[in-house]
Structure 1
Amino acid sequence: MTTQLHGKNILIITANTGIERDELLKPLEALRSLGATLTHGSIEGGSTQTFLHDTEKDRQVESDGKLSGLNARDFDALVIPGGTVNADTLRQDPEAQRLVNEFVDAGKTVAAICHGPWLLIDAGVIPGKTLTSYTSVRTDLLNAKAAGWVDSEVKECTANGWKLITSRTPDDLPAFNQAIANALQSA
């Protein structure tokens, strides 16, 4: 990545357990290395439990605050990592849904990987978008009135004034992180 993101503020949100380790830590590391300021918000604040492949506990990662104390006006982009437990918990959280809608209403970039688009479904922002995700989420997205689903390492969709970036799995993280960086550089 050659893009520089000095002065850009990015929010990455998680539940407090079930986060796919690389889908949290790789974007944090990659985007920070480009000069962006990253804030990790979690539902309860405090520590979050990461996993490897949704089954093996990995490490605890401290979040910077509770979702209820965060506002889209303070950030340039929102990143939603996957992990089935993480995504299923986030999708049911009213504060996570509020944040997604604030970012969308403000015309900002929203990026979700793997099962992360589940939150976008419950926030009601999927209709008309073409995106990718973990394969098992495809039917859920189409049932939520997505315009389409593609099997691609990254899919960018700009419609209704906001940009959506999605990816399938941790294998797609380099392309996912680069797409986020490119979107913020051109914003």
Structure 2
Amino acid sequence: MTSTLEGRTILLVTSNFGTETDEIQRPIATLREAGASVTVAATETGTVRTLVLDHDLGPEVPVDTTYDAVQASDFDALVLPGGTLNADSLRTDETVQALVKGFADAGKPVAAICHAPWVLIESELVEGRQLTSVPTISTDLRNAGAQWKDQEVVLDESAGFLLITSRSPDDLEAFTTAIIDALS
């Protein structure tokens, strides 16, 4: 892959346990391969213990920093990987909510996959927006005022920033392509 994202910085925010393996590893690898600098920020330094299909332990992913030590102004885009436990943990964290809102307020792309749109609900960023997610949280999104679509990737620029959402690990190629296209 060419270095289309050379000089671009991407923040990936996760908890330290329960992130879906493919939804953290593949975006990191694909975005770095495209030339981006990807920073993994978690609740604590050390590693992220991933899960495969929310059930089986997966490999660990190194953490670069904590999410309370970063600012939206230092990055070009935000990526929120899924995993039920990960998204459930992040959505109630006020620091994460403020960080997500910071990206939106600055007009920077916010990308969320699978269960991660739960974080968008708690950050008050879904009302009136078109997006997708894992189908099991579609009712949550509709109840928060979103227009849920059962599509591989949904792009919505209606609120002054690009919101990129995707359903599941099966859609990761389209998800990462949308992020790359948005930053190219």
TM-score normalised per structure 1: 0.96
In the alignment, which residue of structure 1 is the partner of 2:167?
Answer: 168
Give the aligned CA root-mean-square deviation in angstroms: 1.0
Q: Distance in 2 between matches of 1:41 and 1:138?
A: 27
CA distance in 1 between counterparts of 2:175 and 2:82 reads 13
Q: Unaligned regions of 5+ residues in structure 2, if any?
A: none
The whole-number CA distance in structure 2 between the counterparts of 1:125 and 1:135 is: 19
Q: Number of residues paired by the alignment?
A: 184
- Structure 1 segment 31-42 matched on structure 2, within 5 A: 31-42=31-42
Please name the residue that 1:46 is paired with: 46
Contact 2:51 2:57 in 1 (8 A): yes
The CA deviation string for residues 4-55 of structure 1, in whole angstroms up to 9 with x for no partner, is 0001000001011000000001000000001000000001222110010000
1:45–1:67: 8 Å Cα contact kept in structure 2?
no
Identity %: 48
C-alpha separation between the residues in 2 aligned to 1:116 and 1:140?
A: 12
CA contact (8 A) 2:2 2:35 kept: no
Counterpart in the other structure of 1:125: 125
1:97 aligns with 2:88: no
Query: Which residue in the other structure is 2:81 paired with?
Result: 81
Structure 1 position 3, deviation (Å): 6.7
1:51-96 Cα shifts (integer Å, max 9, x gaps): 1000000112121011100100000000000000000000011111
How much does 1:181 deviate? Answer: 0.2
Is the CA contact (8 Å cut-off) linking 2:3 and 2:35 kept in structure 1?
A: no
Q: What SS does the aligned partner of 2:54 have? A: coil
C-alpha contact (below 8 Å) 1:41/1:67 kept by paired residues: yes
1:152 partner letter: Q
Following the alignment from structure 1 to structure 2, what is the Cα–Cα distance between the partners of residues 24 and 121? 20
**For the Cα contact (< 8 Å) 1:3–1:181, is it kept in 2?**
no
Structure 2 CA distance for aligned equivalents of residues 31 and 94 of structure 1: 27
1:3/1:182 contact within 8 Å kept = no
1:1-187 → structure 2 map (5 Å cutoff): 4-146=4-146, 148-185=147-184
Paired letter, 2:68: S
Following the alignment from structure 2 to structure 1, what is the Cα–Cα distance between the partners of residues 167 and 159? 23
Following superposition, which runs of at least 4 residues in structure 1 exceed 2 angstroms of deviation? none
Separation in 2, partners of 1:61, 1:92? 22
> What amino acid sits opposite 1:162 in the alignment?
F
- Residue 64 of structure 1 aligns with an amino acid whose one-letter code is D
SS of match in other structure, 1:159: coil
**Quick one: which amino acid aligns to residue 6 of structure 1?**
E
